[in-house]
Structure formats: structure tokens, C-alpha cells
Amino acid sequence: MLAYNDLAKEAEAFGCRVKYSDYVVPSIDRHVLQDDKKRLATLAMPDPHKTARLPGFLEQCEALVKAKPPTAIGAVAVGPWTIAMLLRNPETMLLDTFEDPTGIGLSFSEPTASISLISPDNYRDFIAPYHKELVDYFKAKKVGVTTHICGTTYPIFEDVIGCGFTTFSFDLDQQADPKLYVDQLARFVEVSRGRAVAIGNVDATKFEKTTKEAMVADVRRCIDAAARHSAFILSTSCEIPPRSDPAVVQWFMDAAREYGRYDRIFSSEGA
């Protein structure tokens, strides 16, 4: 169980303006560094106990710990690369990687580290070194670190594993040509060989509208691809939409209980 709200809270604490909606998650509609990246040097470091919505997030984390649910717990923070993207503006930041690469030095939710948005070399040059630094810091404290990256990520699976993440949550492949589609969960199992735990990747977009049969099929796809190898947590491909249908969520849970049984997974038929 994770304490999580949205991807905008850290950037908002640095001065970005957030747009709220009843239909989609909060998003940035004014980037504080869009016109002048030199303003970064003048931005005050947010106080997590006082600034914007950060105190509320800490309260959420504390409440989760006090509740002592009968499962593993954690919290989701936004990675520095994504915070930088939101402060600067994603399009402008990508231009910076060509025009002023020495001015970039940031990056565990990292949706903008997706290969749907940047190149594998961008990840290796601008993000992976900082991911590894953060992972090493927490590993020294005996704390495992998970990251989630949206969209296509299979070209950097080996790089992400090399950073030392204990767990990797990933999306569905987002390539435009369906002939090039890669089942990223099956590919990750092949690449990782148990070196990192896979989390995913039932299609999150199905939670607003789908059939029970389609949801069950997607749950079975994930379990059949990864569960026999262990090092796997069944989950969604990304956060589910705010207006997800509770009945669809229940179908997901029921299918997970039915097809995720130990005796089914390790039976010779897997039926």
C-alpha cells in the first residue's frame, strides 16, 4: 500500500501553478523556469513541513504507518528529472539537452524518463547517474527503492537494473506502430532474470470502461508472463483514472485472487 497523491506537488512547492480538475489528476499550467532557467538559483528550497501541499502528504504517510495495514507500505515521491521537467516545461527541457547539456543535473516516479519522450542515451547521460546516486544513498540505509517510468521503457531495462533499483514499475509499450509492440512485462522477465522485482502492468486505461472478460484476460496475461519466475507484483500499468469504475476495480481484484493462486501458478497446466 502506497501513500501517493499526484505528480505536481513538488513542482508546486517550488512555485509552479497547478491546474485542478474533477476529471484528471492535477497538472502544471505555469512552469516557474520556462522563461528563465537561471531563476533556479533563486528558488527557495521548499520546507516539507510548511510549503504548499507537502505537509498534507507527510500527514498521509504518517497516517498510513499508524494504521499498520497487513501489507507492505511505502510512499511515492517524484524524481528530480520529472520535477525539473515540470519546473522548466518538458519541451523546453528536451531542447536544453541539446543546447545546454551541462546545465542539466537532476532525477521515483519518473514518468518523463520514458523512451516515449527521450532517447535511451538521454536516460544514460542525464538521468541514470542521479538515479544510481539516490539508490545508493537509500541502500546504505538498508532501504529498497522502486521507480515507475511511463510509456516505452524496454530499451533501458538493463540501465534501470544497473542503477540498483530493487523494484521497477512499468507501463505498456506506447509505440505507434502495433507491429512493433513489445510486451514489456515478458521482456523485463527475460532481461532481469530475478535481479529486480517487476511491478505491472495491467492496462490502467481499462479501469474506466471495459468488460469483465477483457480485464480477466489482461490479469491472466501478466500472471502467466511473470508469476512463475517469482520477483513479481501484479499491479496496473500506471495510476488508474480518477473516474475509474469501482466494478472494474473489483474485477481486477477478483481475477488477481483467482488466477494468482500459488497452486494454479505452479501447477503443470497453469489453468
CATH topology of domain 2-265: TIM Barrel (3.20.20)
All structural domains of the chain with their residue ranges = 2-265
Residue-wise pLDDT for 27-64, tens only, equals 899 999 999 988 988 999 999 999 999 999 999 999 99
Q: What is the dihedral of CA 201, 75, 120, 89, to 10 degrees?
A: 110
What average pLDDT score do residues 198-217 get?
Answer: 95
Mean pLDDT for 153-159 is 96
Is residue 71 over pLDDT 90?
no
d(CA 141, CA 116): 33
DSSP 114-137: -TTTS-HHHIIIIIHHHHHHHHHH
Q: Give the model confidence (pLDDT) of 249-270 as tens digits.
A: 999 999 999 999 988 888 755 5
Q: What secondary structure letter does DSSP report for 193?
A: T
**Mean pLDDT, range 223-236, rounded to an integer:** 92
Of the candidates 173, 164, 174, the one whose C-alpha atom is nearest the C-alpha of residue 136 is 164
What's the pLDDT score for residue 112? 78
Residue 148 near residue 169, CB atoms below 8 Å: yes
pLDDT of residue 101: 61
Closest CA to 122 of 132, 112, 108: 112
Rounded-to-integer distance, Cα 204 and Cα 150, Å: 11
Asked if residues 82 and 109 have their Cβ atoms less than 8 Å apart, the reply is yes
For the question of whether the overall pTM of this predicted structure is more than 0.95, the answer is no
Could you tell me which residues come within 8 angstroms of residue 227 by beta carbon, excluding any fewer than 6 positions away?
A: 234, 260, 265
Residue 230 is predicted with a pLDDT of 81
Rounded-to-integer distance, Cα 170 and Cα 248, Å: 21
| pLDDT for res 82 | 85
100-145 tens-digit pLDDT? 665 543 335 677 788 888 899 999 998 899 899 989 998 898 888 8
